[in-house]
């Protein structure tokens, strides 16, 4: 019975709730959801479920995830002994995605704030669960990149990690392309539900090949890292040195040549991390 939109009969009322009987089971419906107070015997319909406090509830505000509708839901809690809880739009109940649907390695599990594509599922005991979408579902809804590849090449894409394999991670991009990030193209260990940014480096098997590694000009050199550290600790985020500064002053303060200093500044300016003005270099 739980997890469905069902009609019922109002059998009782108090100042806050209407009590609706559905197939012999009574559910509490918050009156604030209704435009007018019903009378005893009136017929109303709503989504029925058991809330976090184990109370039978009916709501006219339908969850955005149902038994027949998949959608991304935010992770609200992680329990290694049970699974992860997701918000599907019910005010007083989050739904569990079972640990049976999640990777064996806890490090690959979603974290609070991540998003998972799920639908509702009812087990043989009538309990509501979140069913995690598998690769086959994503393959069905994914766009083919073949006609768009020329425009997509080297462009940045954002997406959600949907599956982890030994060789890499599958990603569904925000524009609904299936993507794959090989382990050698990852800049950090990935987990299910994680939102990432990557660039397109090719395609194969109807999916985009993605890389999280920076482009060559985006790589921050040790000299640039040092300058960034100095700026981050400087008063007002500025230093009295630019590419016009005296070479001896640069070597005395930074311990590098003016040529190395200029290259590092150029690298940081291309990435829009700094700017030069009136004899100072500023952190943007």
| Domain extents in the chain | 4-59, 71-133, 142-211, 219-283
What's the confidence (pLDDT) of residue 206? 87
pLDDT of residue 5: 96
The per-residue pLDDT for 219 is 67
Q: Return all residues near 125 (Cβ < 8 A) that are at least 6 apart.
A: none
Rounded Cα distance between 20 and 1, Å, is 14
Q: What is the CATH number of domain 4-59?
A: 2.40.50.330
Q: For domain 142-211, give the CATH superfamily.
A: Nucleic acid-binding proteins (2.40.50.140)
Along the 284 residues of the chain, how does pLDDT read in single tens digits? Answer: 899 999 999 999 999 999 999 999 999 999 999 999 999 999 999 999 999 999 999 999 999 999 999 999 999 999 999 999 999 999 999 999 999 999 999 999 999 999 999 999 999 888 999 999 999 999 999 998 877 788 899 899 999 999 999 999 999 999 999 999 999 999 999 999 999 999 999 988 889 999 998 776 566 788 998 999 999 999 889 999 999 999 999 999 999 999 999 999 998 998 888 999 999 999 98
Say if residues 130 and 115 touch (Cβ distance below 8 Å).
no
Fold classified for 71-133: OB fold (Dihydrolipoamide Acetyltransferase, E2P) (2.40.50)
For 57, other C-beta atoms within 10 Å of its C-beta total 23
Query: What kind of fold does domain 219-283 have according to CATH?
Result: Arc Repressor Mutant, subunit A (1.10.10)
Its pTM stands at: 0.73
pLDDT of residue 45: 97
Strands (E), 23-127: 25-30, 43-50, 56-59, 71-79, 83-87, 95-98, 115-122
Helix (H) or strand (E) holding 92: none
Whole-angstrom distance, CA of residue 99 vs CA of residue 93:
18
Identical fold for domains 4-59 and 71-133, yes or no, is yes
Q: Are 44 and 33 in contact (CB under 8 A)?
A: no
pLDDT of residue 272: 87
């Amino acid at each position: 019975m739980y997890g469905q939109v069902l009609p019922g009969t109002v059998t009782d009322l108090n100042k806050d709730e209407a009590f609706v009987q559905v197939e012999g089971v009574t559910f509490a419906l918050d009156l604030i959801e209704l435009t007018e107070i019903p009378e005893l015997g009136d017929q109303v319909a709503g989504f029925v479920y058991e809330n976090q406090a184990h109370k039978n509830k009916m709501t006219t505000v339908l969850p955005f995830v149902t038994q027949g509708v998949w959608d991304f839901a935010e992770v609200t809690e992680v329990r290694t002994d049970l699974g992860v809880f997701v918000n599907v739009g019910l005010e007083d109940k989050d739904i569990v995605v079972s640990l049976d649907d999640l990777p064996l390695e806890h490090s690959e599990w979603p974290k609070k704030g991540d998003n998972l594509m799920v639908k509702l599922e009812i087990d043989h005991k009538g309990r509501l669960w979140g069913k995690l979408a598998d690769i086959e579902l994503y393959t069905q809804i994914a766009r083919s990149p073949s006609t768009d590849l020329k425009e997509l090449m080297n462009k940045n894409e954002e997406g959600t990690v949907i599956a982890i394999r030994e060789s890499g991670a599958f990603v569904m991009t925000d524009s609904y392309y299936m993507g794959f990030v090989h382990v050698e193209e990852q800049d950090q260990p990935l987990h299910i539900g994680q939102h990432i940014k990557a660039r397109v480096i090719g395609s194969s098997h109807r999916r985009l090949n993605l890389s999280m590694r920076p482009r060559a000009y985006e790589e921050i050199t040790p000299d640039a890292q040092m300058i960034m550290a100095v700026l981050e600790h400087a008063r007002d985020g500025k230093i009295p040195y630019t590419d016009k500064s005296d070479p001896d002053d640069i070597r005395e303060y930074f311990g590098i040549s003016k040529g190395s200093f200029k290259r590092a500044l150029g690298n940081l300016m291309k990435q829009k991390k700094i700017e030069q003005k009136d004899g100072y270099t500023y952190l943007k």
